């Protein structure tokens, strides 16, 4: 019973996702393995953006520059990989991950040193990183290595498993699970992970108990930058080029974080819920497309859902603060 009570929000999201899959099948009877693979590929950059945002929100902040950091890492990877060998591309990918981590850490350092609210600092850095992306690449271009482009595309062939079953296992989903697990699982169980949750719950109380608040905050933003870099690499891999203009990942990441059960005030939540929420939001778009809804109307519906989710999350966070104060 403890597990079901603890994971009730995530289980509810899984149930919603399952119902949406059923609805998709009703609307489009031919929807199958190829549709699921396509959904996973489309959701991948949004999932990394949501993971990045979730880390920052858990520590009690917010990062408005995530989409811009994704653009910088995407164009940097595309420019550096154009004409590079497969071996060189591997080291370039590692450099891009380090670059994203450094960008996120810089955001965190500016926040803790200036003591300016994170929403103001990251809004300013949004424009800074947009400018950097345009300096690196003024128009979509560059290239990507074959192995990077092959990572998120297609399904996973499993030995001894019928193709009709293995075709439902997207490479993009495996890539997402591995990347999130490698970073998040050890982090959540580490001392740093506990400190991040403690700061999000009450920064003052965490400071009084000896938690290195400033260092832990910078680390949280650095990890967010790492996930943003993963999202940037995925963008380059999926298109084969880099695009300097940030995509629609900022509001989508905030909406997924709130829908995924992460409290905007910080201190509660994880990464599983926001990632499931990303697939829910992308599947809603798929259903609207199958219903032949005008693309402009689809965008309006998506925006309305995102804004509604964020507003509800804000109200719940405000109520939580009032209860804590009482």
Which whole number is the average pLDDT over 74-82? 93
301 or 60: which carries more pLDDT confidence?
60
* Number of residues written out for the chain: 326
Give the Cα separation of 232 and 297 in Å (integer).
28
Q: What is the tens place of the pLDDT at every residue in 113-141?
A: 999 999 999 999 999 999 999 999 988 88
Q: What is the tens place of the pLDDT at every residue in 236-269?
A: 998 888 888 888 898 889 889 988 888 877 878 8
In terms of average pLDDT, the best of 6-15, 21-30, 101-110 is: 101-110
Q: By three-state DSSP, how is residue 319 classified? A: helix
Continuous segment of H or E residues that includes residue 54: helix 33-58
In the chain, domain spans: 9-292
Q: What is the tens place of the pLDDT at every residue in 150-169?
A: 888 887 776 655 555 556 68
Q: How distant, in Å, are the alpha carbons of 53, 181, 193, 241 from that of 58?
A: 9, 17, 10, 33
Which whole number is the average pLDDT over 201-219? 90
Give the Cα separation of 75 and 77 in Å (integer).
5
């Amino acid at each position: 019973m403890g597990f079901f009570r603890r994971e009730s929000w995530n289980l509810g999201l899984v149930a919603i996702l399952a119902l949406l899959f059923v609805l998709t099948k009703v609307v489009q009877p031919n929807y199958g393995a190829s549709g699921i693979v396509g959904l996973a590929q489309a959701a991948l950059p949004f999932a990394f953006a949501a993971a990045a945002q979730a880390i920052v929100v858990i520590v009690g902040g917010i990062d408005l520059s995530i989409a811009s950091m994704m653009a910088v890492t995407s164009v940097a990877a595309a420019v550096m990989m154009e004409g590079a060998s497969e071996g060189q591309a591997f080291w370039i990918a590692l450099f891009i991950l380090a670059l994203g981590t450094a960008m996120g850490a810089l955001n965190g350092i500016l926040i803790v040193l200036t003591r300016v609210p994170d929403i103001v600092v990251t809004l300013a850095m949004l424009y800074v990183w947009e400018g950097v992306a345009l300096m690196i690449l003024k128009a979509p271009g560059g290239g990507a290595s074959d192995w990077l482009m092959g990572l998120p595309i297609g399904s996973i062939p499993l030995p001894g498993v019928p193709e009709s079953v293995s075709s439902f296992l997207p490479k993009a989903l495996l890539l997402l699970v591995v990347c999130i697990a490698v970073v998040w699982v050890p982090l959540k169980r580490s001392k740093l992970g506990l400190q991040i949750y403690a700061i999000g719950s009450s920064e003052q109380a965490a400071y009084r108990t000896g938690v290195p608040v400033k260092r832990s905050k910078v680390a949280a933003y650095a990890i967010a930058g790492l996930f943003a870099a993963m999202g940037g690499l995925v963008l380059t891999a999926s298109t084969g080029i880099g695009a300097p203009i940030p995509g629609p990942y900022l509001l989508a990441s905030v909406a997924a974080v709130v829908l995924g059960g992460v409290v905007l005030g910080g201190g509660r939540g994880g990464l599983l819920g926001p990632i499931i929420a990303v697939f829910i939001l992308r599947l809603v778009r798929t259903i609207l497309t199958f219903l032949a809804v005008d693309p402009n109307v689809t965008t309006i519906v998506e925006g309305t859902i995102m804004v509604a989710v964020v507003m509800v999350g804000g109200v719940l966070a405000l109520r939580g603060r009032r209860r804590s104060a009482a």
